[in-house]
Structure 1
Amino acid sequence: MKILRVRTLQTLLADSLTIFWGDWLDLRARIPQVAASGLVSPLIYILAFGLGLGSSLDRVAPPPVGDSYLEFILPGMVALSSMVISFGGTTFSICGERLFTKNFEEMLLFPIHPLAMHLGKMLAGIVRGLLTAGSVILVAVLFTRDVWSFLNPLFLLLLVLNCAVFAGLGVIVGLNVKSLESVGLFNNFLIVPMSFLGATFFDPATLPALLKGIVYLLPLTYTTVGLRAAAYQPLGQFPWYSIPVLLVVAIALSIIGAYQFARQHD
């Protein structure tokens, strides 16, 4: 029985990598484009809020974390960029295969477990998110001149989990939408509000109890708070709860995604 389980896991992993490799062959030819695609919004936010508004806020009061308001929002910019590209890139990729190239039906005929299909697509979304987040991290390092703050193991672990959560969400949305216009609706009513309410520009600890409860319903909040602590605070002050929360959300989305793949008819 143990040998059978090991072989099942090996097969699941191999099949997931096979699905991922199909997306990677297309993705590797567009690495500069993917890496730069999510960089525009964070740069605007950094210039407008970090350097513009931040210079005024720094005169009034120091930020809760970091030496300046610019440093305070930089981890949030990394979280924001990885969320947008992991979700958007995955959703549009699956929509393109389903609605335009029409090769999605062929993948559904593969003798592959539905969970492997979800994991393969999710892995591609994680890579997309990491490529873009890497560009924002480079900008953050240039501003702070501190490499270790943005490349330590806890920071990278949270970043990967964040990409997994929103890539998994992108898979589910991509499997269910009927048109590209529908993708825009999900982006406007889910991703854009989360960009501003996910603790990117503020410390959720200062909010009233009701608003704090709403903010902590958003997975991006756990990523942003965790990245901020991993970058600037001692290990003893790290919010360890953020890791299991993001992991549980990613697993739950994987189960839902596998269920969707098992019943997909395109």
Structure 2
Amino acid sequence: MNSLLPLPLSKTPKGSQFRTILADTLTIFWGEWLDLRVRIVQVAAAGLVSPLIYIIGFGLGLGSALDATMKPAAGDNYLQFILPGMIALSSMTISFGGTTFSICGDRIFTKTFEETLLVPVHPLALYLGRMLAGIVRGMMTSCSVILVALIFTGKFASFLNPLFLLLLVLNCAVFAGLGVIVGLNVKSLESVGLYNNFVIVPMSFLGATFFDPATLPTVLKGVVYLLPLTYTSVGLRAAAYLPLSQFPWYSIPILLVVAIALAVAGAYQFAHQQD
């Protein structure tokens, strides 16, 4: 069933069309929030287990051996080095997974997704509303990991500065957007598992969460910098520990461009979605 409502909006003035899309986006998001707000604790804790395991196993276990032989590129020790990567990792996992399963549940199990396509709103608003809900999911879990980071380091200014939070929101937007597109295309939950195993899990380890990509050979460095999580991990680490003059400013426009590209693809998918 196609979403048939982008055409009337195209005849309205641009300012009016923008206000309409914004209002429709907030409407779709509010519907998602009504379901999400009763599971705040569950969502906030959902992505905390893996980062905690990595922090204990790598940061405290392996880190104690590494600290005796080398100094990390950012932070006072290896534990501090990986904490921004753990925050990036948790935001990616929950933004993607929560959004994907939410759409899959509506499409495959409850069969209520057709009602969403019949709602008289612009396809872009359908995408943005779902994506905003994914951002909220990711930020909830990220706040839990940030709390853990504050307990281990006590560096409040490092993890609660505007630049750090901006990168975190952009990362959530990218992977929530990817989750929307995957959720619209998969045919079963097994397919979601394939995307998770072949996209999210490799990116978790190759996205500069545990290492400094600057130390890699040129070929591997090119591969690592194809992953959006790399720009988030590197940017968060710089925002937390390094002077502003050393911040990789390119990470912000790259993540923004990826988020916009996903928004275009997601709006097109909603406009042509058949269920």
TM superposition score normalised by structure 1: 0.99
CA deviation profile, 1:111-140 (whole Å, cap 9, x unmatched): 111110000000000000000000000000
Partners in 1 of 2:200 and 2:116 — Cα distance? 28
Query: Which residue identity lines up with residue 139 of structure 1 in the other structure?
Result: V
Unaligned 5+ runs, structure 1 = none
Structure 2 counterpart of 1:8: 17
- How do 1:94-173 residues align onto structure 2 when only pairs under 5 Å count? 94-173=103-182
Separation in 2, partners of 1:201, 1:232: 16
Partner of 1:118, secondary structure, is: helix
For the residues of structure 2 that align with 1:95 and 1:63, how far apart are their CA atoms?
41
2:265 matched to which residue of 1?
256
Q: 1:81 — aligned with what? A: 90
Rounded Cα–Cα distance in structure 1 between residues aligned with 2:65 and 2:176:
36
Shift of residue 4, structure 1, vs aligned partner:
2.0
The count of corresponding residues between Structure 1 and Structure 2 is: 264
Structure 1 distance, partners of 2:16, 2:33, is 25
Amino acid at match of 2:150: V
Shift of 1:153: 0.4
Correspondence 1:213 to 2:222: yes
Per-residue deviation at 1:5? 1.5
Instruction: Return the letter of the residue paired with 2:87.
Output: V
1:36 and 2:45 aligned: yes
* Partner AA of 1:87 in structure 2: F
Give secondary structure in 1 for the equivalent of 2:274: coil
Deviations 1:62-114 (A, max 9, x none): 11110000000000000000000000000000000001111110010111111
Deviations 1:186-228 (A, max 9, x none): 0000000000000000000000000000000000000000000
**Structure-1 separation of matches of 2:133 and 2:73:** 35
Runs of 4+ in 1 over 6 A off after TM superposition: none
Match of 2:248 among 239, 244, 253: 239
1:55 to 56, 64, 76: 64
2:77 match: 68
Alignment pair present for 1:24 and 2:33: yes
Counterpart in 2 of 1:187? Answer: 196
- Give the counterpart letter for 2:241 in structure 1: Y
Superposed displacement of residue 148, structure 1 = 1.0
Q: SS of the counterpart of 1:33?
A: helix
How far did residue 34 of structure 1 move? Answer: 0.1
Residue ranges of structure 2 left out of the alignment (5+ in a row): 1-11
C-alpha displacement at 1:265, in angstroms?
1.1
| Deviation of 1:248 (Å) | 0.1
Distance between the aligned counterparts of 1:61 and 1:150, measured in 2?
A: 24
Equivalent position to 1:204, from 203, 206, 213: 213
Residue of structure 1 in register with 2:5 after alignment: none
Identity of aligned residues (%): 77
Hey, what's the Cα distance between the residues in 1 that align with 2:123 and 2:151? Answer: 42
Distance 2:114 2:223 in 1: 39
CA distance, structure 2, for counterparts of residue 180 and residue 126 of structure 1: 22
Alignment RMSD (CA, Å) = 0.7
